[in-house]
Amino acid sequence: MDFAEVLTRIKEASPKHRLDIGDPDLPPPPELLEALRKEEDFRYGPAEGLLEFREAVASAFGVEPGEVVAVAGGRHGLAALMWVFRGRRLLTPMPYYPGYFDIAGVFELGLGLVETDGGWMPKFAERGVYVVNYPNNPTGVVLPREKVRELVDVAEFVISDEIYRDIVFDGFTSPMELSSSVAVVYSFSKVFSVPGLRIGAVIAPRDVAREVAKFNRATVNVPPTPTQRAVASVVDILPRRRAEVSEAYRRRAELAAGWLKLEFVRPGGAFYVFPRVADDVSCFETALAAGVSLLPGSLYGDPRHVRLALVEDEERLKEAFTAVNAACGGPR
C-alpha cells in the first residue's frame, strides 16, 4: 500500500482517532497569529529571504545572516540541498522519512540506505553525503553525542534535517556543533504548529547557502514575504515555546510507554512512537476498523513496525492506545 492509498483508506473510514500524519494539535502561539493578522507586506522579497528573517534565525542559531536562507518549509529546504549535492553519494539511515525518496525520485537521484541496530542507532562507515533526521521521524530517537561524532568523522557532508530540534526530552547534539561541513534544515511547522504556513530555513556554509538561494529562485522564487516578517517578529518566543511543546509531547511519549502493550524504543524527542508489530498492514487495517488511524511502517521502509503520531490530548490518547492494544497487540 502506498501513501496515497493509505490516506484514501483513512479518509473513507473517518476514524475517531487520527494518529497518522504528523499534524501537530497544540494551538499555534497567539503572538504569531497576532503578527500574521497585522501583516500587510505582500511584495516580492529577495530569493535568499528577507534580511530581518535571516537575522532573526541567525541569532537563534548563533550564526551569521549570510549562512541563513529562507525556504518554503523544511521539505523545500531538503529538496534544495539534495539538489545541491546531486552529484554525490547520498545516504540515509533506516527507517527513513519517505519525503527523501519523493525528492530523490523527481531529481532521479540514488539514495543509499544505512542499517541501524535494535535501538535505531546507525552504523556510519561509508563515505558520502548523509541525510539524517534527529530527533527522528518515525522512531523519535536522538543520537548520543558520540554517534554524532562518528557521523561527522565519516561524512563528506551532512544534511541535517532538524525539523524536530525544538521537541527534545533529554538533550540533542546537532552535527553543526561538531563540524562545519553541515547544512541544517529547520522549519517552524512543528514547533509553532503551523505546517500550512510553509516557512523554514537552511543554515549552511555560505557557498552552500548561495546554491540554496539559487534553488529558491528557480522554484518558489521568493519565500512568502508576510510569513517571514511575522515569524521574524516572534523568534524571541522560541525558547519558551520549545520548553512548552517539549513538555507536552514528553508526557504523551511517557503515556504511550505506560499504556501501549507493544514494544518500542523510548523516544528522545519529536512526537512519534514506532512500535513493533507482527505485520504492519494488518495492524493498520484492524486499528482502523477499531477507530484509530496509524501508519504502516513499510512507508518508512520497515514492515515490522507501525508509526503513531501523538497528536491528541492525553485522555484521547489513552482511549486510542487501548484500541490499538486490542487491534495489534500480543503479550509484551
Q: Which residue has the cell 518515525?
A: 138
Beta carbons within 10 angstroms of residue 171's beta carbon: 10
* Direct distance between the N- and C-terminal alpha carbons of the chain, in angstroms, rounded to an integer: 27
**Dist. CA 309–CA 274, nearest whole Å:** 9
Task: By CB under 6 A, tell whether 74 contacts ligand PMP.
Answer: yes
**Dist. CA 325–CA 259, nearest whole Å:** 9
Beta bridge partners of 293: 18
Task: By CB under 6 A, tell whether 95 contacts ligand PMP.
Answer: no
Q: Is 69 strand, coil or helix?
A: strand
Non-local CB neighbours of 319 within 8 Å, separated by 6+ positions: 17
Nearest to 161 by CA among 103, 118, 110, 116: 103
Which one of 49, 73, 296, 297 is in contact with ligand PMP (CB under 6 A)?
A: 73
Window contacting ligand PMP (CB under 6 A); options: 50-58, 67-75, 109-117, 256-264: 67-75
**Dist. CA 202–CA 185, nearest whole Å:** 5
Nearest distance from residue 73's CB to ligand PMP, in Å? Answer: 3
Total residues in contact with ligand PMP, by rule CB under 6 A: 14
Task: By CB under 6 A, tell whether 200 contacts ligand PMP.
Answer: yes
Closer residue to ligand PMP (CB): 231 or 323? 231
Nearest distance from residue 196's CB to ligand PMP, in Å? Answer: 8
Window contacting ligand PMP (CB under 6 A); options: 58-66, 72-80, 228-236, 300-308: 72-80
Nearest distance from residue 197's CB to ligand PMP, in Å? Answer: 9
Torsion 286-288-291-293 (CA) sign:
positive
Task: By CB under 6 A, tell whether 99 contacts ligand PMP.
Answer: yes
Window contacting ligand PMP (CB under 6 A); options: 7-15, 26-34, 71-79, 113-121: 71-79
Contact residues for ligand PMP (CB under 6 A)? Answer: 22, 73-75, 97, 99, 133, 137, 161, 163, 187, 189, 195, 200
